[in-house]
Structure 1
Amino acid sequence: MRTVQNWFRDTTGGLPRTFWYLWAGTLVNRLGSFVVIFLAIYLTQVRGFSEFETGVVLGLWGAGGAVGTLTGGVLADRWGRRPTLLTAHLGAATMMLALGLARPLWLVALGALLLGVFAEGARPAFGAMMIDVVPQTDRLRAFTLNYWAINLGFASAAVLAGLAAEASYLLLFVVDAATTLGTAAIIFLKVGETRQRRDVRPGANQPDGAAPHRGGLRVALTDRVFVGFVMVNVLLALIFMQHTSMLPIAMGQDGLSPSTYGTVIAVNGVLIVVGQLFIPRLIAGRGRSNVLALAAVLVGLGFGLTAFADGAWFYALTVVIWTLGEMLNSPSNSTLIAELSPSTLRGRYQGLFSLSWSVAAFGAPVAGGFVREQFGNSTLWFGCAGIAAVAAVAHLVSGPARERRSGDLRAHESAYVEAAAPRTTGGQRTPDAAPANA
């Protein structure tokens, strides 16, 4: 019993209160994440759209997300994390209801586009806020705990959404909007602004290369190491996004009901809830590039085996395999993003990384729908396995450069903090830099 208590304390203890409010907001939001899970089924089976039309609508959601992540990243650094989060959540709740009430194809497409803008616009600000409030030494377990909350909510939502869909698809949109507003309420009532601005006076004592980064989004876009990391993630994201776009369609064509899909995909969330909290100790001290490469292999294996699935148990088995890869991939990715992001540009770097998921959210359903219609189901899933293999090799090749970049950035920022710290002169404290503005 003491061992369990010690493990629980080591896993959850010592994290800032703001982190736990963000964690609670994540859980509430994901408990109602009904629409994304069942949108493909809703569009094909309820609205009667073709696979290609469905892919286009889902792709527009991804395209909107691309705009939202970049805009949200810039706003998180310039305007602030808190107002960006509140605006994004309020907008997402509004568009969720609008999408549920839309009828013509063009209006559904427009609603999906705008929903993507607002829903994904919150992601960079949220990630930046997490990095702001959690010390570097605690980030791996903090991101793991947050990912655990995401999947606890997702697992519950998948099952509940399957039942709700059989009663009324409009109910999915209403509940999703309500939980999004609930998250906004938690942020409004409990979470303050966390952004720190470093305004350095001319002539302040700063070492070369350690001054605050300027240049905005251009800095992130010209950071070749980080952009390379984002591009590798695009490959894996293209595979992951098939579980909400082409997987429900494939299962439906095998005669499986929406509630069966909800149960099968809930395996993903349940497995992560059961095992994710043990991942930090499992991967501690291991090469991050090796962990990410292994994760890619497992993802490719799981999605590749979907080509042979023809029953609920087989689909569930494939979900188990690629979920193991996801469990290794997510915390390693999150800590690496934090270490590659200059502190003054965290929102922009988070936005650029989130763009990889938005690109996949656009490309995966469009490409997946095209491949299934033109070349068949098996070709799609074998293609996913091939893409994952390329991603695994890319992680192994680019890993050393990423670790060097991470070490250099930490050294430069530590040198800046030390140089800008208040000095004592004649009994009085003399700051090298102006106070930070929240």
Structure 2
Amino acid sequence: MSAVEEQSTGIWETIREAPAPVKALLVGVFVNKLGWFLQVFLVLFLTTSKGFSPVQAGTALGVYGAGSVIGLIIGGSLTDRVGPRAAVMISMFGMAGFVLAIAYVPSYAAIIVVIALAGAVGQFYRPASAALLTELTPQNRQVMTFAIYRLAMNLGTTAAPLIGAALVAVSWNLLFIGEALAALAYAAVAIVALPGRKKATPAEDGTPAAPEPKGSYLAVLRDHKYVLFLLCMFINAAIYMQYLAVLPLHMKADGFSTWWYGAMVALNGFIVITCELLVTKVVQHKPARQVAVLGFVLLGGGLAFYALPGGLAIFVIGTLLWTLAEIIGGPTMFAYPGMAAPKPLLGRYVGGAHAMFGLGSALGPFLGVFVWNSVGAQVWLWCGVLGAVGLVLAYFGMAPARTEEATELAPIAEVAEGGQA
């Protein structure tokens, strides 16, 4: 049995024994998410501070979302070309500049351009961060590491609106300064603590180092199994987002107050934050395909459950079911691209998965509300059908994890160089 296989994969062991750059990355992402204000407050800023119409503000938010999807794709390619550390630095320095510019550019057209750039550049870090976690973490600990990564993001994202509201009460400018500072903090972490890209070195016998293999997103698309996985990521996000789009409309139509809808969202957030690591400890060594299939069963089933009559109990049970799907399947689904990717295309595999999830998150609410307006509560049955489609795609698209030398993608000893470029 190898040293990697003997390593414990418990929560605290994974955190305690993680390489220093992994710990630094988790802290950096958490701090960055604490300043995640722009998307939350953009509409309010444009309508109350800048005086633009709700349509103009909504358009700007849509542009930000579109820019984010494009940024995820570019970020994957950038990660493969310049390395994760450099991609994080480019993303965070660029984001800081563009966010500050939003508060000062004079015209709506200029704001739209800057918002699009902020949305794109601000997402470069996500494929880079995920690729770096994959490279620095033994394969048997990757699912748990991604669960911890998700927890750091969720904690930061949960606190950000409260911090943002406090800043807005003083000045809108403070909001943008705060987000810029959070981005710069992550950039500083990248400079100081994240490892640079390793250069190819000649072999001991003097043989010249082999040139780094090159590829593109076309190479990703030629991996037909992985394309099926990308489609299931899109479906996963599109139906998952209905808890933000259709659920409040349904509960309002059934006579429940906004408070009860807020309670459903809070129930989901509480369970994810408190239980995901514990559930991951149980499922992390199961085959990724099995975990994803179970996740789709619970996600599609939980959303379809909303179509039943029964009042508040139906909403509570349905929410519990799809929340269970999130905490069971989420870490594995986001760790899988790193398991499936050939090393030269790691950034693109990860970027493609994040981009498809982002695209589903952007289009899902629009499509869900459209179907709700057409067929009412039967929209949940369509979510169940799409969950079944996602299940099939996951089953045929997720191959067993790629195994490399002793499953060690980056031995801890090799990470000790820290920030050396």
The reply to whether TM is greater than 0.5 is yes
Q: Do the aligned partners of residues 110 and 315 (structure 1) sit closer, same or farther apart at CA in structure 2, a change above 3 Å counting?
A: farther
Partner of 1:426: none
Partner of 2:198: 196
> Is the 8 Å Cα contact of residues 69 and 121 (structure 1) preserved in structure 2?
yes
How do residues 147-296 of structure 1 correspond to structure 2 at under 5 angstroms?
147-158=150-161, 160=163, 173-193=176-196, 195-198=197-200, 213-242=213-242, 265-296=265-296
> Is the 8 Å Cα contact of residues 59 and 361 (structure 1) preserved in structure 2?
no
Matched, 1:390 2:389: yes
Match of 2:149 among 146, 150, 165: 146
How do residues 4-83 of structure 1 correspond to structure 2 at under 5 angstroms?
9-37=12-40, 48-50=53-55, 56-83=59-86
> Is the 8 Å Cα contact of residues 154 and 269 (structure 1) preserved in structure 2?
no
Q: CA deviation at 1:325?
A: 1.3
Q: Do the aligned partners of residues 138 and 397 (structure 1) sit closer, same or farther apart at CA in structure 2, a change above 3 Å counting?
A: closer
Q: Which amino acid aligns with 1:132?
A: E
Partner of 2:92: 89
Q: CA deviation at 1:155?
A: 2.7
Seq. identity, % = 26
Q: TM-score, normalised by structure 2?
A: 0.76
Matched, 1:364 2:367: no
Q: TM-score, normalised by structure 1?
A: 0.74
Deviates more, 1:261-270 or 1:175-184: 261-270
SS at structure 2 position matched to 1:120: coil
Structure 2: distance between partners of 1:192 and 1:112: 30
Structure 2: distance between partners of 1:108 and 1:246: 30
Q: Do the aligned partners of residues 245 and 327 (structure 1) sit closer, same or farther apart at CA in structure 2, a change above 3 Å counting?
A: same
Q: Do the aligned partners of residues 316 and 200 (structure 1) sit closer, same or farther apart at CA in structure 2, a change above 3 Å counting?
A: farther
Structure 2: distance between partners of 1:267 and 1:168: 32
Structure 2: distance between partners of 1:378 and 1:146: 35
Structure 1: distance between partners of 2:338 and 2:99: 31
> Is the 8 Å Cα contact of residues 69 and 352 (structure 1) preserved in structure 2?
yes
Matched, 1:122 2:121: no
Q: Do the aligned partners of residues 262 and 368 (structure 1) sit closer, same or farther apart at CA in structure 2, a change above 3 Å counting?
A: same
Q: CA offsets per residue over residues 321-359 of structure 1, 9 Å max, x none?
A: 433211122221233211111122211222222221232
Structure 2: distance between partners of 1:103 and 1:310: 53
Partner of 1:347: 347
SS at structure 2 position matched to 1:86: helix
Q: CA deviation at 1:87?
A: 1.5
Q: Do the aligned partners of residues 24 and 308 (structure 1) sit closer, same or farther apart at CA in structure 2, a change above 3 Å counting?
A: farther
Q: CA deviation at 1:28?
A: 0.9
Q: Do the aligned partners of residues 317 and 215 (structure 1) sit closer, same or farther apart at CA in structure 2, a change above 3 Å counting?
A: same
Deviates more, 1:54-63 or 1:309-318: 309-318
SS at structure 2 position matched to 1:329: helix
Structure 2: distance between partners of 1:390 and 1:220: 22
Q: CA offsets per residue over residues 18-45 of structure 1, 9 Å max, x none?
A: 1000010111122232343455677799
Q: Which amino acid aligns with 1:396?
A: Y
Give the paired residue count: 398
Q: CA offsets per residue over residues 124-176 of structure 1, 9 Å max, x none?
A: 11111112222223222211211121122223335555677788777655543
SS at structure 2 position matched to 1:181: helix
Q: CA offsets per residue over residues 85-143 of structure 1, 9 Å max, x none?
A: 11111222333344466797655543442222112211111111112222223222211
